[in-house]
Amino acid sequence: MLEALSGARNYNAWLAELVRPYLGDDPIEVGAGIGTFSELWLEAGVPRLTVSELDVFAVDELRRRFDSDPRVTIAELDLTDPPEATHSSLAALNVLEHIEDDVAGLRGAARLVRPGGVIAVLVPALAFAMSRFDREIGHHRRYTTTELESAFSEAGLEPLDVHYVNAPGLLGWTVGMKLLRMTPQEGVALRAWDKLVVPPARAFEQRVRPPFGQSVLGLAHRPG
């Protein structure tokens, strides 16, 4: 699935750009998958980056992709029990929903960044859109903006900005994944959506924040 979605170039570029301004000089991406977002951030000029995964296949792919890049450190860590570190920021895109105790995951995220460091998470939105596919890939929940803000606060983080992203994607997900019980995969439909729907949605949401979306983007920082 990660390989299939890596072909949604416009969509991935949109999400990567939403997070990039907050990364700083020494970010860590937790749950980096096969490195799709990491590569985009490096191309955008991030000077140093740690990528972390627990999945064996993903770790092998990260090593294949980044072993020869001196800017990249590859790590394997559990977000609910990480070591102390002083990264400038932490990015976790489509990760928190896989952690049963999401507040513990956010507390772990705080331990990985320096005081004032930003934690940027992207999570699936709105419980009514929970599908069979969500459950099959290990999603424990989908979030409202209020629920993600509450999780930040309970973890001792200070919310900076929490908002919905990708309004048309919510309709597509609800119809395709929940009602029709489909599975995301590379093909004509994905390429058409990425080419025809994502660019205008991105342009519109740069001007107007929608009241709903396929995802919630949350930004918080570690106090101090």
Position 121 scores a pLDDT of: 98
What is the pLDDT at residue 176? 83
pLDDT, residue 3, reads 56
75-103 residue pLDDT tens = 999 999 999 999 999 999 999 999 999 99
Q: Is residue 105 over pLDDT 90?
A: yes
Rounded-to-integer distance, Cα 60 and Cα 58, Å: 5
Q: What is the pLDDT of residues 1-28, one digit of tens each?
A: 555 566 789 999 999 999 999 999 999 9
> pTM value?
0.94
- Dump the DSSP string for the chain: -HHHHTT-HHHHHHHHHHHGGG--SS-EEES-TTSHHHHHHHHTT-S-EEEE---HHHHHHHHHHHTT-TTEEEE---TTSPPP--EEEEEEES-GGG-SSHHHHHHHHHHTEEEEEEEEEEEEB-GGG--HHHHHTT----B-HHHHHHHHHHTT-EEEEEEEE-HHHHHHHIIIIIIS-----SSHHHHHIIIIIHHHHHHHHHHS--S--SEEEEEEE---
Q: What is the count of structural domains for the chain?
A: 1
Query: What pLDDT, in 10s, does the model give residues 141-197?
Result: 999 999 999 999 999 999 999 999 999 999 988 988 788 777 776 678 888 999 999
Least confident range of 3-12, 34-43, 48-57 = 3-12
Percent pLDDT > 90 in the chain is 86
Give pLDDT, residue 181.
76
Identify the domain containing residue 17 by its residue range.
2-221
Specify the CATH number for the domain of residue 28: 3.40.50.150
Min mean pLDDT across 43-57, 59-73, 110-124, 171-185 is at 171-185
